[in-house]
Structure formats: C-alpha cells, structure tokens
Amino acid sequence: MSKTLQGITLKGSAELVAEFFSFGINSILYQRGIYPAETFSRVSEYDMSLQLTTDPKLKNYLTNVVTQLKEWLFDCTVQKLVVVITCLETNEVLERWQFDIECDKTAKEDSAPREKSMKAIQEEIRSVIRQITATVTFLPLLETACAFDLLIYTDKDLEVPEQWEESGPQLIDQSEEVRLRSFTTSIHKVNSMVAYKRTNSM
C-alpha cells in the first residue's frame, strides 16, 4: 500500500482542507483582534507556531463548522467560505476574507489517489497562513469591537442543515481587494482573497 501513502485521496484532501480552515480562521481571529489575545494558546502546526482559541464556545462553534465543511468538501459541493468581520455596534461589514474552493468532481468517481506529497501541500498551506499574518501591513486598524460571521457558499440544490441559515453575501461597497496565495491538494484548490474598506485618502 505504499502508493496510497504517497498520494492523496478525496477523503484525505477534504480533511486537509478542513484542517486548513480551522487554523486559518483561528489565525484571522487572532491577528485581527476579534477575540482578546489572552484567549488564544500557541500550538505548532505545519512547522510554524499558530494561535488557537481556548474559548470553549468559540471552539465548539468552529468544530461544528469544520465538521460540516468536511462533509461538503467530501461531496464536492462547497464553493466558497467567507469570514466576514463586522462592527459590533453598527453591523457594518469591515473586512471580508474570501476563500474560493474549486473541487475536482472527477475525484468522486475515480477513487485512485492523486500524486502530491503531503510535504508539498503543507508548504503551500504554510505560505497562505504566513500571508494572512502579513496582511497587517496594509489592512486598516479595526478600531471598534468587532464580530465575525462565517458564510459558506454551496451548490444551489443543497439542503440547509439545521444549524445553518441562508444569508446575503455581505459585501463591502467601495472595497479594496487583495488576492493572497492559493494552495491545492490536486483535488481541492483554495484561492484566498481579502477585501477591506477603501480608505478615502486618494
């Protein structure tokens, strides 16, 4: 079975991508100060140190989302995941982190594992998370207390699970958009992008 060790299956890919989102969302929440820094603890993952929340409610919520996401990734029905950061007082959308997910649906029928080493994938994931951290160089300071929301775009005909509800896209008008790096497991490809309110300076 040395071949499966080398390659990657749909299930493995779904797990990898879901894991990326769990760390990625935690990273965003920490970097952007949505939750106080004291409630995070440091873990080592992908050969780098990352911050994971210790807040039980948030942890629970994120696990729920990620488990659900994993299912959808496995079914190849998810198109986008968006982290929306809104001002707590005015509900204005201030930042929008969008992760476009391209699924290779042929992987569903054809169960043969793809050739891509775990190391290469992790390397790509690492650079995405690094870039998330680096975005503080141009993002505006979030001056007010903020809340976040997760939106998941799926294929149209999908049933909405109980804990989920339909929502609008929550776009920012007059936004500045910056593409970040992308990574692929050769089954799922994730393109990331951050949008923020444009400054009125120019």
Partner 1 sequence: MAEGEVEWELCKENIQPLRCGRDISALHQALSQQQEGTTSAINQQKQAFELELRMYDGDDPLDVWDRYIKWIEQTYPQGGKESGLNLLLERAVMKFTEEKKYHNDSRYVNLWIKFTESCPDPLDVYRYMQAQGIGTLQASFYIAWSEEYEKRGNSRMADSIFQEGFKCGAESLDRLQQFHKALQARVCRQMMTSVIDQETDDEPDEPQRASLNELKAKGKKKAVAPINRATGTVGYARGLQFKQPVGPSQNSRLMIFDENKEHPEPQEHKLESWAARPTAKAKENEQKPDKWTNVKLPQKSRFGHSVVAPPPKPNFQPFVEESDQPPVVTPCKINPAVNNVLSARRPRREEQTPLKRLQEMQLQQEDEDKSGEKSMYCKELLLSGVTEFSFEELRAERYRQKRSQRLEAASIDANNQEEPHTSQKD
Q: Give contact residues for partner 1 (rule: CB under 8 A).
A: 36, 38, 89, 130-131, 134, 136-141, 143-145, 176-181, 196-202
State in angstroms the smallest separation of the CB of 192 from partner 1.
Answer: 11
Angle ∠(161,164,168) on CA atoms, nearest 5: 125
What is the DSSP pairing of strand 78-87 with strand 146-154? antiparallel
Closer to partner 1 by CB, 9 or 39: give it: 39
Torsion of CA 55, 56, 59, 65, to 10 degrees: -130
Closer to partner 1 by CB, 136 or 158: give it: 136
CA distance 124 to 129: 9
State in angstroms the smallest separation of the CB of 193 from partner 1.
Answer: 11
| 85 three-state secondary structure | strand
State in angstroms the smallest separation of the CB of 44 from partner 1.
Answer: 22
Closer to partner 1 by CB, 123 or 177: give it: 177
User: Residues with Cβ < 8 Å from 58, sequence gap 6 or more?
Assistant: 29, 35, 39
State in angstroms the smallest separation of the CB of 139 from partner 1.
Answer: 6
Closer to partner 1 by CB, 93 or 107: give it: 93
Closer to partner 1 by CB, 54 or 117: give it: 54
State in angstroms the smallest separation of the CB of 160 from partner 1.
Answer: 34
Helix 10-31 to helix 56-75 angle, to the nearest 10 degrees? Answer: 150
